[in-house]
């Protein structure tokens, strides 16, 4: 591709919060020219992730990713954010990778480049490039480490004088401390406490009772920049189970609302968190693997759920509840659990408190918008204490659509039940 004026690639905005869209525009190309637009990210785990689309420049020699069709690559069609949500490890990478931001005080850096041609573009030098920053923490968000009363976590406070509604944010069975969703929630005007409640691979020894979570809730509630009567629960997977357990079994706290993603309502009553591990072990014969040797827990979950003694007293829920699930969840029967929760709430005369979002071809790991889709990733398997590749489910495009739509719906749900009035959004 020879020309006197070099192509120009721009990304607007160059710096943004991760749930905000950007526009990628390439100018000064020859008309009707085949080009590839590629994104590349070097992760904190030192792995490279990429996405790319094949485009044809228009009569003016421009390509707009927001407006033009991709004819191939990791995504097709008009996909303004395909360069992010269709990211995958570059060929030759390690198996079972998952992209997660661990240090939220730094941005996710994404290099976006344009190449001449379609096939074999990686062997050529880019015609133009631009670097964009994707942040979980908006300017002014404060990050505070919490180590008090035995509770471990990180509190994120939105910019401004406050006070703000609060959310106790809990992740799943992988364990450890994950901060990125809490940082993003704080960027959207919620004080969020990312709670660590067991270390990776140690579920079987966790003797935590309700009191640990109640203490964490109260630490958040009592913070001077938190509205004490507007503290809710937010969980994914095991974190959703804990959220439901608190909402049904605790007499010490009153959550304003609950958001539960890919959760379930099976919890051995009166037992510590390690009781979940006991149930998993008891039903481990139901675990199966697919043709790729990816582990599937779904049937084990069905077996646990089939025993009514394992299920919570859902009729005791007294706050608005949002359930978010994917119909292709291969890790846990979350959709069946949601249907049973709906039945139990209906029987208790509390169906009006329930909102359900169910997405075709979405899997278990429904993350913030534009996050890459992970159908199967490495996981420290709880029962045998070995690293396996866990099948989460989902197909990339519909799963990504589910992440984008569910985040919008979650924001609307929280706005309704935590604020009841419009509130400004922090922006970069």
Among residues 33, 39, 86, 237, the one annotated as catalytic is: 237
Cβ neighbours around 25 below 10 Å, total: 18
∠ CA 74-79-81, nearest 5°, is 85
Q: Which of 41, 294, 364, 399 is catalytic?
A: 364
Please answer whether residues 41 and 49 qualify as being in contact, where contact means their C-beta atoms are separated by less than 8 angstroms: yes
| Contact between residue 205 and residue 178 where contact means Cβ atoms under 8 Å apart | no
- Give whole-number Cα distances, 265 to 77, 340, 364, in Å: 39, 9, 15
Is 41 tagged catalytic?
Answer: no
What's the rounded Cα separation, in Å, for the pair 166 and 248? Answer: 19
Q: Tell me whether residue 329 is one of the annotated catalytic residues.
A: yes
Question: In whole angstroms, what is the distance from residue 22 CA to residue 65 CA?
Answer: 10
Dihedral sign from CA coordinates of 165, 166, 171, 177: positive
Taking alpha carbons only, the member of 380, 366, 376 closest to residue 408 is 366
Could you give the 3-state DSSP secondary structure of residue 108?
strand
**Token duo for residue 402:** 């589910």
Give catalytic status of residue 364 as yes or no: yes
Q: Check 19, 169, 328, 329 and give the catalytic one.
A: 329
Q: Are 422 and 188 in contact (CB under 8 A)?
A: no
Query: Under DSSP, is residue 203 helix (H, G, I), strand (E, B) or coil?
Result: helix
Catalytic residues: 237, 329, 364
């Amino acid at each position: 591709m020879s020309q006197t004026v070099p192509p120009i690639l721009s990304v607007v905005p160059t710096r943004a919060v991760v749930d905000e869209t950007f526009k990628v525009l390439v100018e000064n190309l020859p008309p009707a020219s085949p080009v590839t637009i590629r994104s590349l990210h070097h992760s904190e785990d030192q792995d490279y992730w990429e996405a790319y689309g094949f485009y044809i420049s228009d009569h003016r020699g421009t390509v707009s990713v927001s407006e033009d069709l991709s004819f191939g690559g990791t995504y097709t069609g008009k996909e303004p954010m395909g360069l992010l949500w269709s990211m995958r490890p570059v060929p030759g990478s390690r198996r079972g990778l998952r992209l997660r931001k661990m240090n939220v005080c730094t941005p996710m850096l994404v290099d976006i480049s344009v190449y001449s041609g379609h096939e074999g573009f990686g062997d050529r030098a880019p015609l133009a490039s631009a670097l964009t920053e994707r942040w979980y923490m908006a300017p002014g968000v404060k990050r505070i480490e919490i180590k008090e009363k035995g509770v471990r976590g990180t509190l994120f406070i939105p910019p401004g004088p406050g006070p703000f509604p609060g959310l106790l944010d809990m992740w799943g069975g992988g364990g450890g401390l994950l901060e990125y969703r809490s940082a993003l929630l704080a960027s959207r005007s919620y004080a969020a406490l990312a709670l660590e409640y067991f270390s990776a691979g140690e579920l079987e020894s966790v003797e935590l009772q309700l009191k640990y979570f109640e203490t964490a809730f109260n630490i958040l509630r009592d913070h001077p920049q938190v509205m004490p009567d507007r503290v809710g629960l937010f969980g994914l997977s095991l974190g959703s189970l804990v959220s439901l357990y608190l909402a049904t079994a605790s007499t010490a706290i009153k959550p304003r609302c609950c958001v539960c993603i890919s959760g379930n309502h099976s919890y051995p009553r009166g037992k510590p968190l390690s009781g979940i591990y006991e149930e998993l072990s008891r039903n481990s014969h139901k675990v199966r693997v697919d043709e790729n040797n990816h582990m599937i827990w779904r049937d084990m979950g069905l077996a646990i759920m089939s025993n009514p003694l394992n299920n919570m007293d859902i009729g005791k829920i007294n706050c608005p509840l949002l359930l978010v699930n994917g119909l292709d969840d291969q890790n846990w029967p979350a959709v069946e659990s949601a249907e049973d929760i709906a039945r139990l709430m209906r029987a208790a005369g509390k169906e009006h408190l329930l909102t359900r979002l169910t997405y075709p071809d979405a899997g278990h790991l429904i993350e913030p918008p534009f996050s890459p889709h992970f159908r199967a990733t490495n996981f420290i398997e709880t029962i045998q204490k070995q690293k396996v590749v866990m099948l989460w489910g989902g197909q990339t495009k519909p799963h990504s659509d589910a992440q984008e739509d569910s985040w919008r719906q979650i924001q609307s749900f929280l706005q309704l039940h935590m604020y009841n009035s419009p509130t400004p959004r922090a922006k970069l």
